[in-house]
Amino acid sequence: MVKSIIVDTDPSPDDAVAFLMALGSPDEIELLAITTVGGNVPLHHTTRNALKALELVGRQADVPVYAGAAGPMVRTLETAEYVHGETGFEGYDLPEPVATASDGFAPDKIVDLVMSRPEKTVTLCCLAPLTNIALAMAREPRLAARLEGIVLMGGARSEGGNVTPAAEYNIYVDPEAAKKVFECGAPIVMIPLDCTHTALTQKPRLDKLRAMGGPHMAAFYHLLEWNKRFDEKAWGMDGGPLHDPTVTAYLLKPELFKGRLVNVEISCDELTRGMTVVDWHSVTNRPKNALVLTEIDADGYFDLVIERLYAARKD
């Protein structure tokens, strides 16, 4: 059965790979909309990057892009230009997009789309701070119950954080939004750093991606190569973690992952701001609100990424 999804995103290259893979998988996924949020870089860049990525594969007419919240619900936005460059798409010059974002505020559009479709048929795929999702839930209290589920990249179990010792970026930026989402009652799949830090853009994988040929594969080769250099320097890893496409990969091939249904609470305290407190061993009686994936078949994942990213292009 084809899954209907909305992708909420702050496009750096890994976000773009994630939603283009969805477009490259028409037998399994119907992409209803892309909604953008301020995150890695400010909202005007994330929205433009979404449009640029769609135009790169000739798919700008196939899915609307709606801009959403410029920053978190109650805090100031902390961007990550040090990771992704000034525009969020550093490493390869993509042409300015011709298309523009569609009219409407992303949280409102999420509500409209989910509420107008049959119950439990829409999955939210979240690749960024969860501000738009929490705002949508605040606007429509019946939203969570109407969802098929939420699959998100964010958090960490025992890996530790990538912006503070405790927190991963997407959860750190808007912890109040994340708390609202984790408490919403919809089935949640959380893909944390424990998983993505073992899914690295090692040279043979990027070479394989480029060898597929075509301008979009060349563009992503360079964009991911730029990220790889930063990550290798910052983390001493062999390659950079390819975070967000894990969400699309999970929809397509859940068998690539292993995890556990557990309780996850979000810390909004300063020292541990944005920490995902994962009750891995069920030492509390708190409700099991998230399937936390901690293992991935990295080679199988990259094969899938390359196949579906390649298939995204319409000539």
Q: For 217-225, which contacts have Cβ atoms below 8 Å and span 24 or more sequence positions?
A: 217/309, 217/310, 219/56, 219/92, 219/94, 220/13, 220/16, 220/17, 220/309, 222/91, 222/92, 223/13, 223/16, 223/89, 223/90, 223/91, 223/92, 224/13, 224/14, 224/17, 224/91, 225/91, 225/201
Residues 233-262, interacting with ligand BDR (CB under 6 A)? 243-244
Q: Is 224 in the site for ligand BDR (CB under 6 A)?
A: no
Query: Rg of the Cα trace of the chain?
Result: 18
* Six-digit token string for 161: 């954080």
Place of tokens 């990213």: 309
What does 50 bind: ligand BDR, Ca ion, none (CB cut-off 5 to 8 Å by kind)?
none
Residue 151: its H or E element? strand 149-153
Smallest separation, CB 279 to Ca ion (Å): 26
Residue 265, beta-bridge partner list: 277
Q: Which is nearer to ligand BDR, 90 or 168 (CB)?
A: 168
Q: Which is nearer to ligand BDR, 44 or 120 (CB)?
A: 44
Residues 98-127, interacting with ligand BDR (CB under 6 A)? 127
Residues 6+ apart with CB under 8 A from 137: 143, 144, 180, 181, 184
What does 148 bind: Ca ion, ligand BDR, none (CB cut-off 5 to 8 Å by kind)?
none
Name the one range near ligand BDR by CB under 6 A: 7-15, 92-100, 101-109, 278-286.
Answer: 7-15
Residue sitting closest to ligand BDR (CB): 169
Cα separation of 187 and 71, whole Å? 25
Applying CB under 6 A, among 12, 47, 49, 289 the residue interacting with ligand BDR is: 12
Applying CB under 6 A, among 70, 73, 80, 277 the residue interacting with ligand BDR is: 80
Q: How many CA atoms, within 13 angstroms, populate the side-chain half-sphere of residue 43?
A: 20
Write out the residues near Ca ion by the rule CB under 5 A.
15, 127-128, 244
Q: Which is nearer to ligand BDR, 39 or 149 (CB)?
A: 39
What does 310 bind: Ca ion, ligand BDR, none (CB cut-off 5 to 8 Å by kind)?
none
Smallest separation, CB 159 to ligand BDR (Å): 11
Smallest separation, CB 117 to ligand BDR (Å): 26
In 172-226 the beta strands, taken as DSSP E runs, fall at 188-191
Size of the residue set binding ligand BDR (CB under 6 A):
15
Applying CB under 6 A, among 36, 46, 132, 162 the residue interacting with ligand BDR is: 162
197 is known as an active-site residue = no
What does 194 bind: Ca ion, ligand BDR, none (CB cut-off 5 to 8 Å by kind)?
none
Name the one range near ligand BDR by CB under 6 A: 12-20, 28-36, 52-60, 275-283.
Answer: 12-20
Residue 6: its H or E element? strand 3-9
Q: Is 168 in the site for ligand BDR (CB under 6 A)?
A: yes
Chain centroid to CA 171: 12
Which candidate, 189, 191, 227, 184, places its Cα nearest to that of 206? 227
Which residues of this chain interact with ligand BDR, rule CB under 6 A?
12, 14-15, 40, 80, 83, 127-128, 153, 162, 168-170, 243-244
